[in-house]
Structure 1
Amino acid sequence: MLGKTYDSQACSIARSLEMIGERWSLLIIRDAAFGGATRYSDFQRKLGIATNVLKARLHGFVEAGIMERHRYSEQPELYEYLLTDKGRALAPALVALSEWGDRWASDGEPPIRYVHSVCGTGVTQQTVCGHCGGVDDPTEIQATIGPGLSNP
């Protein structure tokens, strides 16, 4: 993971990366959000991730409030890891990353389609202006100072 050196940066992207910016982190959240994985063994089997790395990531997600650890068996004592509202709120970012990968990191058709479970129609992630609607040209997006920026 990245070093925890973002105290001096007023950047929500940097703060987000500190929690979820490691490669395995996004794959764990992907499998929890879209693949039905909840148990340690599910993640380990699906991802082939080293047990020490998986343990550290799950522990970090619980500490960050992205997942909650829930006991589902007393004998033997077994736990599952469930996404919280905070964790489920990452789904649109994962869809956006997937769309970017489909366009820029793939040679063919998308390997995974995201669909609305209610009607079966494809889901996309869009950038929307509250006044004009959809924004297709990223050069029209400008970063400005927001209310959360503290004065030095």
Structure 2
Amino acid sequence: MSDIFRSGCPIATTLDLVGDKWTLVLIRDMLNGKARYSEFLDSPERITTNILASRLEAMTANGLVERKPYQERPTRYAYRLTEKGSELHPVLLAICAWANRHYPESWVPPASFMEPLEA
């Protein structure tokens, strides 16, 4: 196993990749069409710029996200989920269903988000 993983436990491994308080929120945003730095900053959770930069870098390094330049001067990037990152969608669906069931005051995600992704 890589140095970034605490153990070979699949739960611990997954949490080592996405278990902080921001990564799954950023994946949610990408699944909902956000791609640019400024779009992520507009999310209601109000991530700070240094944390956003750190999470996007880690997500890219871990193969969850890829970035492509959309502007040269200054260089600005758009981010999108890789296949590996997109495969976390069912995990987010389960988390949403759990939260809505046990915390009815939580937001109900749009129907378009709750549909499984096409294979």
TM range (shorter): 0.7 to 0.9
Determine the structure 1 residue equivalent to 2:38: 41
Q: What is the TM-score of this pair, normalised by structure 1?
A: 0.66
1:114/1:123 contact within 8 Å kept: yes
Q: Give the deviation of 1:48 after TM superposition.
A: 1.4
Q: Give the counterpart letter for 2:6 in structure 1.
A: Y
Matches within 5 A, 1:91-106: 91-106=89-104
DSSP-derived class of the 1:23 partner: coil
> Are 1:6 and 2:6 matched, yes or no?
yes
2:37/2:78 contact within 8 Å kept: yes
What 5-or-longer segments of structure 1 have no aligned partner? 117-121, 125-152
Determine the structure 2 residue equivalent to 1:77: 75
Taking only the aligned residue pairs, the percentage that are identical comes to 35
- Cα 1:96/1:14, change in 2 over 3 Å: same
DSSP-derived class of the 2:78 partner: strand
CA deviations 1:14-72 (Å, max 9, x no partner) are: 10101101111111110101x21101111011241111111110000000000011111
2:5/2:16 contact within 8 Å kept: no
- Cα 1:82/1:5, change in 2 over 3 Å: closer
- Cα 1:76/1:30, change in 2 over 3 Å: same
Q: What is the TM-score of this pair, normalised by structure 2?
A: 0.83
Alignment: residue pair count: 112
Instruction: State the alpha-carbon separation in 2 of the partners of residues 83 and 100 from structure 1.
Output: 24
Q: Give the deviation of 1:107 after TM superposition.
A: 4.0
- After TM superposition, the runs of 4+ consecutive aligned structure 1 residues lying more than 2 A away are 113-116
The structure with higher relative contact order (CA 8 Å, sep 6+) is 2
Identify the structure with the greater helix proportion. Answer: 2
Matches within 5 A, 1:105-144: 105-107=103-105, 111-115=108-112, 123=115
Determine the structure 2 residue equivalent to 1:30: 28
- Cα 1:104/1:58, change in 2 over 3 Å: same
Q: Give the deviation of 1:115 after TM superposition.
A: 3.8
Instruction: Give the root-mean-square deviation of aligned CA atoms.
Output: 2.0
Give the greater-gyration-radius structure (CA): 1
